[in-house]
């Protein structure tokens, strides 16, 4: 864009901003193709829109947005609530590029009460408003199935799809089915279930779906008492059984006192990357959670939690047609709704509701993380390594981690091992075993210095890339032994950590730095599990190598020291003579019969020198 065009555009926009009213409203930014790229709300249109064009407050993303704006449109409304509702509708209509994206790609099921003469109750994912009244959607299917099961046990409404018009029923077009015979249906198809009685049950069902189970229970109690007073004990028993069903259902769904009625609860969590936000919504009626839903927003312009929560509140209240006069939130938000009170509870039943909402949104966050990890397993390892980098304050991601361990029995058969983890996974082809050559007796620190020097001096000589982090399978002493070689002898700069174990030989703490400090880690975290795996792996590798070495020494015999006598010859001799002592005393002829002249001669010459 030429300077002249740029200045012309800026002058045009400044002219619009200068004439904006200082009233509540919604503004729209349009690009060079007259496409809406952003929609926003404001208590004061002029102040809000002008803030985008101030140089001192713009973020990088806001700067990019302002370069795309070629025109500004606005709509003035009476209240902030009207602005919130209008903003929500316009975002859905235009799907602007720079607005947060509501990720609602999964269609959750709802419960429909159809508009037929004898309505049906069924679950569906397809919403056709003219077909009936819908309740939901239900993001937690067990909750939906539980209420459907309650309705089925309490009210014998039909499940068939017959066209039950008064005319068809009067003409006798239908006959009862199995559902009638097993008492799941009263037979409205043949006139055995009057329309008046049927619709009274449908009205009760709608109240249950709205969460008003307490009102239904009170009505059932009144009917039970009425039947009892008239000595209609079978009818009274039927009412009692329905009351028990209601009580059982409420005991599973009621989480707080039933005096809390018609309340909305919201909580919010951000993803680890900060690019997404998750919002949980609960609707409480008579102490029962009647609706529960968690959804996701994809950030576009570094929106704050407060901004996103405001959007989520409007979205959910509109979606579920909520008219609650109280909204519970985790923190204060700059938002006003007509005749609505915002509450930030600190204790009591309302705090329990907020805690439950927070628990649900955190679980949703974990679930999304697990889904992402399944689609991209390496993403999980990268995330854990980033956590390790942050914990140790490393300059770069520890892509290559090497861990050392020694193994010996009172200095005998001393060995060491090094395992390599690359991108959080074991690189087994890079594992190395070391026989200790220069250390006499049991000296773990000297053994560690020898192995580390041999490994990294070779790396320097061959110009091999060095690790991003070295871990000692041990505490401060092992770390210091490694540091003496890496820094003092080789002049390298490689971060060094140590993994100490508790009395039960389990990974207990991560040490880092000189002087060493304990790095706090949750023992349930993925990072702790990775470090435990590294420590277990190097210990296993070292112990296996040490065990193999001792086994070979235990089966070593004098025959192994004789040049010209191989494993097969040794096996043949032992098979016949059973021991080295008998081989020594055997005659030349006896040896020849087993191994031939040449090897018999080698054996006799070797043993004669031993005399």
Is residue 232 one of the residues assigned to a domain?
A: no
Q: How confident is the model at residue 568 (pLDDT cuts 50, 70, 90)?
A: confident
Does 47 have pLDDT greater than 80?
yes
Extract the runs of DSSP E, i.e. beta strands, from 423-478. Answer: 425-426, 432-435, 469-472
Which tokens hold the place of 562?
């004789």
pLDDT higher than threshold 50 for residue 411: no
Q: Which of 326, 342, 373 is the last residue of a domain?
A: 373
The pLDDT of residue 266 = 94
Any residues with CB less than 8 A from the CB of 473 and at least 6 apart, and which? 403, 404, 405, 499, 535, 538, 539, 542
Same-domain status, 336 and 430: no
* Contact status, residue 287 vs residue 255, Cβ threshold 8 Å: yes
Residue 170 lies in a domain: yes
Would you state the structure tokens that stand for residue 508, as one six-digit string?
Answer: 């207990």
Q: What is the CATH number of the domain that holds 520?
A: 3.30.420.340
Q: What is the pLDDT of residue 342?
A: 93
Residue with tokens 């006139």: 191
Determine the pLDDT at residue 508.
73
Scan for tokens 């709608």, then name that residue.
Answer: 206
- Full DSSP string of 183-221: TS---GGGTSS-HHHHHHHHHHHHHHHTT-HHHHHHHHH
Domain of 26, CATH number, reads 3.40.1440.10
Assess if residue 236 is contained within a domain: no
| Residue that is last in its domain, among 79, 99, 119 | 99
How far apart CA 361 and CA 305 sit, in angstroms, is 14
Same domain (yes/no): 50, 69: yes
What is the Cα–Cα distance from 458 to 463, expressed in whole angstroms? 8
Per-residue pLDDT band for 558 (boundaries 50, 70, 90) equals low
Looking at the fold, whether 300 and 416 belong to one and the same domain comes out as: no
Let me know whether 181 and 292 are in one domain: no
| Domain match, 40 and 183 both | no
Gap between the Cα atoms of 309 and 267, Å rounded: 8
Give tens-digit pLDDT for 120-137: 998 888 878 788 888 877
Residue 395, both tokens: 């300059």
Only one residue has tokens 């361990």, namely 405
Give the pLDDT mean for 386-401: 90
- Domain span holding position 368: 263-373
pLDDT of 3 reads: 66
Total number of domains constituting the chain: 5
CA distances from 188 to 174, 452, 591 (A): 10, 86, 105
Domain CATH number, residue 569: 1.10.150
pLDDT tens per residue, range 65-121:
888 888 888 888 887 877 887 888 888 788 888 888 776 545 668 889 998 999 999
Judge if 304 and 163 occupy the same domain.
no
Q: How confident is the model at residue 267 (pLDDT cuts 50, 70, 90)?
A: very high
Q: Of how many residues is the chain composed? A: 611
- In 3D, which of 530, 532, 534 has the Cα closest to residue 381? 530
**Within a domain: 604:** yes
295-304 pLDDT per residue, tens: 888 888 778 8
Q: Are residues 187 and 304 in the same domain?
A: no
Report the C-alpha gap between 341 and 330 in whole angstroms: 14
Shared domain for 416 and 540, answered yes or no, is yes
In a domain, 338, yes or no: yes
| Residues 367 and 422 placed together within one structural domain of the fold | no
Which H helix or E strand runs over 230?
Answer: none
Does a structural domain hold residue 255? no
Same domain membership, residue 407 and residue 448 = yes
Which residue intervals of 19-75 are DSSP H helices? 45-51, 60-68
Is the predicted pLDDT of residue 265 greater than 80, yes or no? yes
Backbone angles phi, psi at 419, to 5 degrees: -110, 150
Question: Which is higher by pLDDT, 444 or 313?
Answer: 313
**What average pLDDT does the segment 181-197 reach?**
87
- 398 and 468 in contact (C-beta within 8 Å)? yes
Domain membership of residue 247 (yes or no) is no
Is 0.85 topped by the overall pTM?
no
Please check whether residue 543 lies inside any domain of the structure: yes
pLDDT of residue 518: 86
Give yes or no: residues 325 and 396 share one domain.
no
Give me the pLDDT at residue 211, please.
72
Indicate the residue among 351, 373, 395 that finishes a domain.
Answer: 373
pLDDT of 344 reads 92
User: Is residue 352 domain-shared with residue 393, that is, in the same domain?
Assistant: no
Above 60 in pLDDT, residue 550? no
pLDDT tens for 444-466 read 888 889 889 999 999 998 888 99
């Amino acid at each position: 864009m030429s300077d002249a065009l740029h200045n012309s555009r800026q002058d045009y926009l400044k002219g619009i901003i200068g004439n904006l009213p200082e009233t509540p409203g919604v503004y729209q930014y349009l690009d060079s193709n007259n496409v809406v790229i952003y929609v926003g709300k404001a208590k004061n249109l002029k102040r809000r829109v002008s803030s985008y064009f101030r140089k001192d407050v713009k973020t990088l993303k806001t700067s990019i947005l302002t370069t795309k704006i070629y025109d500004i449109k606005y709509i003035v409304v009476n209240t902030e609530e009207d602005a919130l509702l209008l903003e929500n509708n316009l975002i859905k209509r235009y799907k602007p590029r720079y607005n947060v994206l509501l990720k609602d790609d999964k269609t959750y099921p709802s419960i429909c009460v159809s508009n037929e003469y004898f309505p049906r109750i069924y679950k569906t994912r397809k919403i056709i408003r003219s077909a009936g009244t819908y309740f939901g959607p239900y993001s937690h299917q067990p909750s939906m199935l539980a209420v459907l099961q309650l309705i089925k046990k309490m009210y014998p409404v039909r499940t068939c799809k017959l066209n039950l018009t008064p005319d068809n029923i009067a003409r006798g077009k239908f006959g009862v089915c199995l559902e009638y015979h097993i008492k799941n249906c009263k037979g409205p198809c043949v006139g055995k279930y009057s329309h008046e009685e049927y619709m009274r049950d449908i009205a009760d069902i709608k109240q249950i779906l709205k969460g008003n189970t307490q009102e239904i229970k009170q009505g059932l109690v009144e009917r039970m008492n009425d039947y009892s007073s008239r000595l209609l004990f079978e009818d009274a028993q039927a009412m009692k059984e329905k009351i028990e069903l209601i009580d059982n259902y409420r005991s599973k769904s009621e989480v707080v006192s039933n005096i809390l009625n018609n309340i909305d609860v919201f909580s919010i969590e951000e993803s680890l990357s900060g690019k997404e936000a998750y919002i949980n919504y609960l609707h409480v009626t008579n102490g029962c959670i009647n609706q529960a839903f968690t959804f996701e927003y994809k950030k576009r312009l570094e929106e704050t939690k407060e901004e996103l929560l405001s959007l989520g509140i409007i979205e959910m209240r509109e979606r579920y047609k909520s008219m609650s006069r109280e909204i519970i939130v985790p923190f204060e938000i700059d938002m006003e709704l007509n005749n609505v009170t915002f509450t930030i509870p600190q204790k009591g039943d309302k705090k329990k509701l907020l805690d439950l909402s927070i628990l649900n949104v955190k679980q949703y966050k974990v679930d999304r993380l697990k889904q992402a990890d399944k689609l991209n397993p390496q993403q999980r390892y990268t995330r854990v390594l980033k956590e390790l980098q942050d914990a140790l304050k490393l300059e770069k991601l520890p892509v290559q981690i090497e861990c050392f361990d020694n193994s010996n029995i009172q200095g005998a058969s001393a060995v060491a091992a090094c395992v390599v983890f690359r991108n959080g996974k074991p690189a087994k082809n890079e594992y190395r075993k070391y026989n200790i050559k220069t250390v006499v007796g049991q000296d773990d620190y000297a053994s560690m210095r020898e192995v580390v020097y041999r490994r990294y001096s070779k790396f320097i000589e061959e110009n091999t890339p060095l690790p991003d982090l070295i871990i000692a399978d041990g505490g401060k002493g092992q770390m210091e032994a490694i540091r003496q070689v890496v820094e003092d002898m080789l002049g390298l700069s490689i971060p060094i950590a140590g993994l100490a174990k508790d009395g039960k030989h389990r990974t207990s703490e991560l040490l880092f730095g000189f002087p060493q400090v304990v790095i706090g880690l949750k023992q349930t975290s993925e990072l702790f599990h990775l470090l435990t795996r590294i420590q277990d792996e190097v210990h296993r590798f070292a112990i296996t190598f040490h065990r193999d070495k001792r086994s070979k020494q235990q089966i070593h015999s004098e025959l192994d020291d004789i040049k010209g006598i191989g494993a097969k010859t040794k096996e043949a001799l032992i098979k016949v003579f059973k021991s080295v002592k008998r081989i020594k005393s055997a005659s030349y002829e006896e040896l020849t019969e087993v191994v031939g002249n040449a090897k018999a001669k080698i054996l006799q010459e070797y043993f004669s020198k031993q005399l």
